[in-house]
Amino acid sequence: MPDLLQLQVHDLEVEILTGIYSEETHLPQPLRISVTADLDMPERFAPDTPLSASKSYIDLKHAATTGLPRDVHFTLIEGVAEHIAETLFTGDTRVQRVEIRIVKLAIAEHNESIGITLVRHRR
């Protein structure tokens, strides 16, 4: 198996227009988003390896926050996850796999996590 580097950004809270029920469709909903991206990597990371050999964590954060359109209503949170995945694949050819976990905070009654995990591989 080839080596890989996993970059991770967890528990970002973002307000997104999403939902299918009438009480969900007119106001943004709070979502907790976590992203893991598997990247091709160099054979070795020396102490002086430049950032260009890896990827900035800010790129993952951007894809799950400011990279999401605020004026688009996503019927399903799966669509939100798909948009994040596409943003990461388009932005860097070294990204080989992404895993996006989204928790819908507004529907939790007893602090449980209710949501989805979407995994996509580069095609």
Angstrom CA distances, 99 to 25, 87, 121, 123, stand at 26, 13, 9, 15
> Which residues, including other chains, have CB under 8 Å from residue 41's CB and lie 6 or more apart?
3, 4, 5, 53, 54, 94
Given this model, what pLDDT does residue 83 score? 98
Given this model, what pLDDT does residue 22 score? 67
Given this model, what pLDDT does residue 54 score? 84
Which two structure tokens, joined as six digits, stand for 101?
């976990």
Closest alpha carbon to 11 in 29, 28, 27, 35? 35
Q: What angle do CA 56, 51, 13 make, to 5 degrees?
A: 10
Q: What is the pTM of this model?
A: 0.91
Domains of the chain by residue range:
5-121
Which CATH class name applies to 5-121? alpha beta
In tens digits, the chain (123 residues) has pLDDT values of: 778 899 999 999 999 999 887 676 778 999 999 999 999 988 889 999 988 888 889 999 999 999 999 999 999 999 999 999 999 999 999 999 999 999 999 888 888 899 999 999 999
Given this model, what pLDDT does residue 24 score? 67
Given this model, what pLDDT does residue 122 score? 95
Helix (H) or strand (E) holding 102, with range, is strand 95-104
Pairing of strands 29-39, 115-121: unpaired
